[in-house]
Structure 1
Amino acid sequence: MPDRIALRGLRARGYHGVFDHERRDGQDFVIDVVLAVDTRAAARDDDLTQTVHYGELADRLVHVVQGEPVNLVETLADRLAAVCLAEPRVAEVEVTVHKPHAPIPHPFDDVTVTILRRRHEQLG
């Protein structure tokens, strides 16, 4: 079982959604990623280059959220997963996209979409 590196609560403003006002006004999204990574070499050598630099990964994830709008949170989650799997040491990623200000006319706490992607699925 690989080790896990988690980045939770990453916030960025995006313009995703199916409604005109979502594309025009934007809203905040919250991103959680859990990466499956073998961290033994990094731990043994105390070497950042042998693991995932989560600060740099956070920059790339925010860039996706702030980037080209999509209609569905599912599409956004898939794009974020692809960014994570571009890291050569990541074997698997779980991505959760929170849309806490989704246009729902009832009281609610959060809307989330969670996906799981594996490296071998990306290559096939």
Structure 2
Amino acid sequence: MTDDSAPWPTELRVSQDKKTLTIAFNNGERHDLSAEYLRVCSPSAEVKGHNPSQKQTVPGKRNVEIMKIEPVGNYAVRIHFDDMHNSGIFSWTYFFELANEPEKHWGVYLQELEQKGLSRDL
């Protein structure tokens, strides 16, 4: 179920190099989200876990690419990445959160990498 008052995408466009997803929202906002950011913040059980204690920090995704996007009903899409990850369902609400709260996601991810001695590179 989605909040009808929440912004929703009017356009999703993968860049020619497959490294960026541009999202335009019905409120006029437009955001470029890197494939790496989307991959490491995937809402899948593999990344998020089934509860906060199961959350995984996924290293080595600096060069990941978006291979395909497929609709899931009228509320989300599934992104297929070139590392074969495709189990995350990205809702419109989650896209909007990723676009507008990068420190909550990207900043925490970078801190986790550092704390665990991991790298964005393979």
TM-score by length of 1: 0.25
| Greater relative contact order, per chain length (Cα 8 Å cut-off, separation 6+) | 1
Give the structure with the higher percent strand. Answer: 1
- Larger helix share, 1 or 2: 1
